[in-house]
Amino acid sequence: MPQVSVTIAGKTYRMACAEGEEGHLEGLAAAYDTRIEQMRTSFGEIGDLRLHVMAAIAQADELHETKRRIAALESEVAMLNSVNASRDERLERIEARLAEGVQMAAERIEGWRAA
């Protein structure tokens, strides 16, 4: 199992990850480190543990909001798919009636030709 070293708030951590996930883990750690540094700039030195907790809660809040937005979009897609399915059914009925009308007209025309 591969291992990577990441630095968060000036401290280096050695972490294991799945094969091929090294860059992803490093990117996540870098984003978290950036979040902590932004908070340190905003709030000053309030303690590493507090900064880590605040950064984790901020990221958890973003994740929660993202999940909420995805659920709303999934609902909207399901509703649109339902509307489209209903529209497709109506279109099929209209096309069937139109085909019947064309068939009847063709039969009348043929009937007139034969007469």
pLDDT digits (tens, 9 = 90+) for 32-42: 999 999 999 99
d(CA 25, CA 13): 12
Structure tokens at 87: 């529209």
User: What integer pLDDT is reported at residue 8 of this predicted model?
Assistant: 95
pLDDT (mean) for 28-49: 92
Look at residue 114 and tell me whether its pLDDT is greater than 80.
no
Question: pLDDT value at position 115?
Answer: 66
Section 76-90 average pLDDT: 87
Q: Is the dihedral of CA 16, 32, 64, 80 positive or negative?
A: negative
Q: Does residue 107 or residue 60 have the better pLDDT?
A: 60
- pLDDT category at 106 given cuts 50, 70, 90 is confident
